[in-house]
Every structure is written in C-alpha cells, then in structure tokens.
Amino acid sequence: MRFSDFGFHDSLLEGISFSGYENATPVQEQVIPLVLQGKDVIASAQTGTGKTAAFLLPLLHQLLEKKHEGKVGALIIVPTRELAIQIAQHIEGLSYFIEISSIAIYGGNDGQNFVAEKKALQMGADIIVCTPGRMLAHLKMGYVDFSGVQFLVLDEADRMLDMGFQDDIQFIIAHIPKKCQRLLFSATMPEKIRRLAREILFEPQEINIAISKPPEKIVQQAYIVYQTQKLDLVRHLLQIHKYQSALVFCSSKQSVKDLYRSLQKVGMKVAPMHSDLEQQEREQVLQGFASGRIPVLIATDIVSRGIDIDTIDLVINYDVPQDGEDYVHRIGRTARAESDGIAITLVGETEQQKFGSIERLIEKEVLKMQLPEGFGETPEYKPARQKHSSPRGKGGRGGYYPKRR
Ligand code: AMP
C-alpha cells in the first residue's frame, strides 16, 4: 500500500519520501486508517516493524488539521531516553516540510537540561516525547499545561511496566483530557498490559503483528559472562566448534573493528564487515566469505537481514542485539536450506535485561552454557528489569529538541 492512499497532506507525503519510505509496512497499513478514524488502538508490534511511523504519521496529519496553538497536541510516553531521542529524530524527518514542533524530555542527572526542558515546555510544543519519570518531575512543578492534548501514545508499554512506571504513567494520564485519542504499543501482551489497556483505552481496536520465531533446528546457546571475558571466549568458541563458515555479530562498527584486530593478531583468518567499508570492499569480503576463503566474518547488523549463505553453520552474537527482531534475523543466518546451525550469544553483565526481553519475545529460555575451566567466575543471570532510578523532581540530564526550522 502506498502512503498516498491514506489521504495524507502533500507536505507530509514529502516528508515520508524524504525519510525514504515507499510503501507502508503491515503495521502501518493496519494502524494508520484506524487512527485516522479517531479510534483508540492497542497494537502488539516490535521494533523494526515500522511501528513508530504507524502512530506518528496519522498524528502529524491530524495535528496539521486541528492544531491547538501554543498547547501540547500529542504526548508520546516511552520507556527510555534512547527511544525518546529516536522518536524525536523520526518526527524531525517526517515533519521536515511541515510546521510542527516537538520536544524530547528524558531523565538523567544534569540540572541545566532540566531548565532547558522547562523553558521548552512553557513555550509549548505540538508533540512531546518523554520518559515517565522525567515528565512526572515537570508535571509536579505545576507549569505544564496538558489541557490541549488530543493524542496520547504509550510506546513499548510492556517495557515501561517492567521498569515500574505504572504509577507514573497513571499520574500523567490523570492530567490529560479524558476524551483524547489513545494508542498503546507493546512488543508483548501479558495480562498486565491488557489490564492497563482496559483502564486507559476506550473500546480499542486490536492489531497484532506477530514476530517471526527462529527455526527450531537452530541450536541456541548463551554464555552469561563479564564483558572482559568475551574476547577470550569468542576465540575459544571459534577453536572448539567445527564450522564451515562462522558469522560473529557486534552491535557497533567500533566493536567489529576492535574484535577483528584482536582475532587477526592471534593469527585467525577473519574479515570485518561494516558500513565504513566501500561498496567494492564489502562485495570482496562477502565473496571471500561465501567461497569459504574467509571462514569467519565479523559484522554489524548490516548483514543480519540480507546475507543468505548456505554454509554458515555458526553464528556468535558478541554483543546482545538491540531487540528480538534483530536476534531472530541474526541467528536466522545459520541453518539455511537443509543444514543445521548453532547460535551462541555472549551476554555481558549490562546486557542481561536485554537478553531477558529477547527470551520473552521468542518465548524460549535459551540454554545457558558453563564457561570452560580457567575463565574464572561469571555473573549470575538476573534478567528481571530494575526500577528506573532517576531522581524525581530534581534536575537531571535530559534534553529537548526544539524543531529546526
Ligand atoms: P520502527 O519499528 O518504528 O523502529 O522502525 C524501524 C525502521 O524502519 C526505522 O529505521 C524506520 O525509519 C524504518 N521504516 C519505518 N517505516 C518504513 C517504511 N514504510 N518503509 C521503509 N522503512 C520504514
């Protein structure tokens, strides 16, 4: 389905093509018409499905039609500052050709930003993207006016509840008009999310975009380690496993470069793959890997979706991927066609929560392996989420993104 079929304003369509989107994704196809009809929506959709634009586009379209001068028109509540920044950037791209202002407000420990956020809030913005704790701190100071809010979005609602934000969310919702349209997005739909939906949504339409599960024939394993143990462990794993081709995933270019240098130094036949390489270099590396000349490829997620090489029988996640979708795509690089494959994830001490969410998403507890002797102590696996701990009502590091005009 093309975006012009939704009847969006021309200037918004320009922003969509400026963002490089051609066709709507399934979640967008289903969510956008409902939001345009004014319905409340509850959608289960993971990161990577295009869910952000699924709520941003109809919001932007409608805000253009019924703008409430000087008042906040839409409030988007998200669990983390990273997501807040990401959504603010999405808004900037999509609204590049329209007069819409937005602010991202998120927690931290820098008093200066709190003041800047306060100023931005007092000046007003069409869209506010915020984390619950930080918004609560501002609300309690008494200068925030949410009387014009027409749209409320809770994004990654399951994560917010896991982080203990339920009360903060309820407090914020108590400050917005009862009849505003409400959308709730969540990667998973446990009972507590359904309960929240019953409390805050009005006769919601339900959308379900299921995550694809990894094929059963892939043997999934995980090592719970300290970050400092990863390098030795990956070397060890590449020595003890028999494979034709192994793909090692890192979450950043720098991490690929560092690991590549370390493995090359100890004489291993490895090649790096990341976006800093020229197209020609990438093709050469991929050819070498596909032909078996290079047995180990160290890569960012740049190859987690596209690469289809039958001989990959070992995938190692040196870093835990950002979300379940990336995990499924990464490990799906092995066991192509008729062959089998092993996928091993190294879970560092700060990545346990992320891995816990992935396990919940794929509805599988990945087998935890013992480290071989000589590697020393390992951390305990405690993936449950911690309650957010930013100071309330005090200054904190945050940020605001007044729109560039
Ligand atoms: P999200 O699931 O919202 O995190 O989006 C995942 C990625 O898909 C982001 O990089 C978006 O910019 C991109 N995206 C969203 N919608 C589309 C679309 N219709 N066509 C192409 N890319 C899209």
Q: What is the pLDDT of residues 118-130, one digit of tens each?
A: 988 888 889 999 9
Token pair in block for residue 193: 């999310």
Distance CA 264, CA 285 (A): 15
Q: What is the pLDDT of residue 337?
A: 63
Q: Is residue 405 part of a domain?
A: no
Q: What is the average pLDDT across 249-253?
A: 93
In this model, does residue 399 exceed pLDDT 60? Answer: no
Q: Which of 16, 21, 78 to mutate to test the pocket of ligand 1 (most atoms within 8 A of CB)?
A: 21
Question: Which atom of ligand 1 lies closest to the CA of 52?
Answer: 3
Residues 6+ apart with CB under 8 A from 145: 71, 72, 124
Secondary structure of residue 231 in the 3-state scheme: helix
Q: What is the average pLDDT across 8-16?
A: 96
Q: Does pTM top 0.85 for this prediction? A: no
Say if residue 162 is in the same domain as residue 285: no
Q: What is the pLDDT of residue 404?
A: 36
Q: What confidence category does residue 392 fall into, taking pLDDT thresholds of 50, 70 and 90?
A: very low
**Residue where one domain finishes, among candidates 185, 209, 233:** 209
Closest residue by CA, ligand 1 atom 15: 50
Q: Is residue 381 part of a domain?
A: yes
**Residue where one domain finishes, among candidates 209, 231, 254:** 209
Closest residue by CA, ligand 1 atom 18: 21
Q: What confidence category does residue 68 fall into, taking pLDDT thresholds of 50, 70 and 90?
A: low
Q: What is the pLDDT of residue 158?
A: 87
Q: What is the pLDDT of residue 211?
A: 66
Mean pLDDT of the chain: 88
**Residue where one domain finishes, among candidates 178, 209, 240:** 209
Q: What is the average pLDDT across 284-310?
A: 86
Say if residue 197 is in the same domain as residue 236: no
Distance CA 80, CA 268 (A): 39
- Site residues for ligand 1, CB cut-off 6 Å: 21, 23-25, 28, 47-53
Q: Is residue 262 part of a domain?
A: yes
Lowest mean pLDDT among 41-55, 165-179, 235-249: 41-55
Q: Which of 1, 18, 25, 326 to mutate to test the pocket of ligand 1 (most atoms within 8 A of CB)?
A: 25
Lowest mean pLDDT among 192-206, 232-246, 297-311, 345-359: 297-311
Give one DSSP letter per residue of 10-34, joined into a string: HHHHHHHHHTT--B--HHHHHHHHH
Question: Which atom of ligand 1 lies closest to the CA of 48?
Answer: 2
Spatial strand order of the sheet with 367-369 comes to 270-273, 296-299, 245-249, 312-317, 341-347, 218-224, 367-369
* Element (DSSP H or E) covering residue 285: helix 279-291
Distance CA 249, CA 319 (A): 7
Report, in angstroms and rounded to the nearest whole number, the Rg of the chain calculated over CA atoms.
23
Q: What is the average pLDDT across 87-96?
A: 94
Lowest mean pLDDT among 52-61, 83-92, 104-113, 394-403: 394-403
Say if residue 79 is in the same domain as residue 193: yes
Tens of pLDDT, residues 182-215: 999 998 788 889 999 999 999 999 998 866 678 8
Strand partners, 271: 297
Residue 117 structural domain: 3-209
Count of domains observed in the chain: 2
Q: What confidence category does residue 394 fall into, taking pLDDT thresholds of 50, 70 and 90?
A: very low
Q: Is residue 108 part of a domain?
A: yes
CA of 318 to the centre of ligand 1 (A): 25
Q: What is the average pLDDT across 358-362?
A: 84
